[in-house]
Amino acid sequence: MKKLQLLILLFISGITFSCGSGESGETADIIFKNGIVYTMDDSNPEVEAVAVKDGRIIYVGSSDGVAAHEGSETQMVDLKGQTMTPGFIESHGHLMGIGYNKLELDLMYVKTYDELVQKVAEAVEKAEPGQWITGRGWHQSKWIEPPGKVVKGFQTHDKMSAVSPDNPVYLRHASGHATFANAKAMQLAGVNRLSLESLSKQVEGGEIIKDELGNPTGVFTERASGLVGRLVPQNDELRNELALEMAIKECLEKGITSFHDAGSGQSFIDRLQRFKEQGKLGMRMYVMLTGRSPELLEKWYERGPMIDPDHFITVRSIKLHCDGALGPRGAWLLKEYTDRPGHTGHETLPMEVVTTVSDKALETGFQVCSHAIGDRANQEVLDRYEAAFLKNPEGAIDHRFRIEHAQHLHPDDIPRFGELGVIPAMQAIHMSSDRPWAINRLGPKRIKDGAYVWQKLLQSGAKIINGTDAPVEPVDPLPSFYASVSRKTLAGMPEGGFEPEQKMTREEALRSFTLDAAFGEFEEDFKGSIEVGKAADFTVFDKNIMTIPEKEILDTKVAMTIVNGKVAYQAGE
């Protein structure tokens, strides 16, 4: 009889444990129930309900079981069958750029050069003579028809200058690695046929594109962009704060609860601190210090990482810009571009700097995040990381150094990510947007062997973390999630996807935006999965992105974004 009672007791205990986890009876501030909840916890992968108190999860389990945590003051949220995941983490973006895009000409969706010219003409009509016209988002390889005149793959300024004779125009490429200026802007900068030879010597690591007569076409790549860019009026703090407010709002609407800002200065960090103090920050920030300011880095080496006990603003990484982008042919390659013989891109930062910063970062507790797109840049960065790890094995025990983008790799370097513990911070949406024309840059063999090779990297033991590189692409993570699992353009082409053997599973894609993304900022014990004790950061979708037909992922909307246990965005409100 006693044996039977013991078996019954064990059986009941097992049922209780299987229905949920968390302290029984603790009253929740907010309860979410009747949902499809993907936790990213392998021991408890799918549940129905979550209870939250003081911004932390206290229960994960069934809708029936969560009733024990309901009190008279508990806010009840009926998910009505909608899908909840851990809060999506943007692993590589430029927050101020998202805001500025809303205050300037947004050229992301321009389909032809003529359409770009028309947008400039409309802006000129509203501007005062002499006022600068600025914008971002054009990409010549994505236009549906080529411009009338092309030099080295780019348009020329003539049409744009014709509609803006009295206003300097400065338009940044979608990638951020090239710019387009009109005649007025170049005149103010002293850029003309006679000055090009001397100016070109000043911009090693960049190029002023010239036509057959030696005249500047208006296109500047990489470091050459500064010749005109230095004249563009700086934003005042009022405009900066407006841009930040708009960027945060956009992120929350897209289900983003944490954001890795890929390279900023002290003024940005100070602005975030003010927003936090004023209760306006709204989401969690992980800031990479810009490596373009050696003085800034020296100050932070002395200070050491800033790790926020509230987990809202953390500064413990350094961003280095080591090459350009494939679109303007600035990515640094081991062999020449297929569509531009003799050209291998640009080393935009002396590799000795990567060595110096890596050594210093390991000594002072910082993570290094190096922008590298081309196979030469990736190889050079991996070589310097490896040397730093060997030099300081104690500092390298849990370094979590990253390569931002890691788009095009030499096959020999792919296993090194797993072997060295280097994180590839990739943006799957770049494959969707770039792959149709990237094959012209690299050729079929290099594309197949080493471009956007997600499965090869995962099989090496590396943790891929995902993002959008906004405002290079829209900050919405769902198109990037779709690209991860389909390897198609957003128009659904080609059937079966590009190099389909490299697709992520939906579980791998979700992990790259949640738990592994948290690992990329040393926060996997605090967030990234829905487990008792972790942060109550969630994204709720109106469709089940883990089971719906692939094409429906792009039609899915964010229904709710929850940060620190509070609803930060709700559709329709």
Structural tokens at position 446: 């290099």
Is 486 within 8 Å of 431 (Cβ atoms)? no
Mean pLDDT for all residues in the chain: 94
**Low-confidence residues in the chain, pLDDT < 50:** 1-19
CA distance 292 to 319: 8
With CA atoms as reference, report the closest residue to 246 among 446, 116, 97. 97
Sheet bearing 216-222, strands edge to edge: 105-106, 133-138, 169-173, 178-181, 216-222, 206-210
Tokens of 191: 């850029």
| Predicted local distance difference test score (pLDDT) of residue 550 | 96
For residue 290, give the nearest of 323, 320, 315, 322 by alpha carbon: 320
For tokens 């579980």, the residue is 507
Residue with tokens 């003799």, as numbered in its chain = 342
Q: Give the N- to C-terminal CA distance of the chain in Å, as an integer.
A: 60
Whose CA is closest to 181, among 144, 135, 212, 149?
135
Report all structural domains of the chain as residue ranges with CATH numbers, in order of start. Answer: 1-81+528-573 (2.30.40.10), 96-229 (3.10.310.70), 322-504 (3.20.20.140)
pLDDT of residue 80: 97
Question: What is the DSSP code string of 281-296?
Answer: --SEEEEEEETT-HHH
Hey, is 563 helix, strand or coil? strand
pLDDT value of residue 205: 80
| pTM over cut 0.95 | no
Q: Residue 492 has what pLDDT?
A: 97
Contacts of 212 (CB under 8 A, 6+ apart): 151
Single-letter amino acid code for the residue at 514: T
Contact 88, 558 (CB under 8 A): no
Residues 502 and 486: their CA atoms lie apart, in Å, by: 9
Which pLDDT belongs to residue 241?
A: 97
Name the nearest CA neighbour of 100 among 287, 236, 230, 228: 236
Q: Are 538 and 77 in contact (CB under 8 A)?
A: no
pLDDT tens column, 225-282: 999 999 999 889 999 999 999 999 999 999 999 999 999 999 999 999 999 999 999 9
CA 245 from chain center: how many Å? 18
Q: Which pLDDT does position 198 carry in this prediction?
A: 79
568 DSSP 8-state letter: E
Degrees, nearest 5: CA angle 150-155-160 = 135
Looking at residue 177, its pLDDT comes to: 87
How does DSSP assign 359-390, residue by residue? HHHHHHT-EEEEEE-SHHHHHHHHHHHHHHHH
> What backbone phi and psi angles, to 5 degrees, belong to 175?
-75, -20
Query: Two tokens at 85?
Result: 């995941």
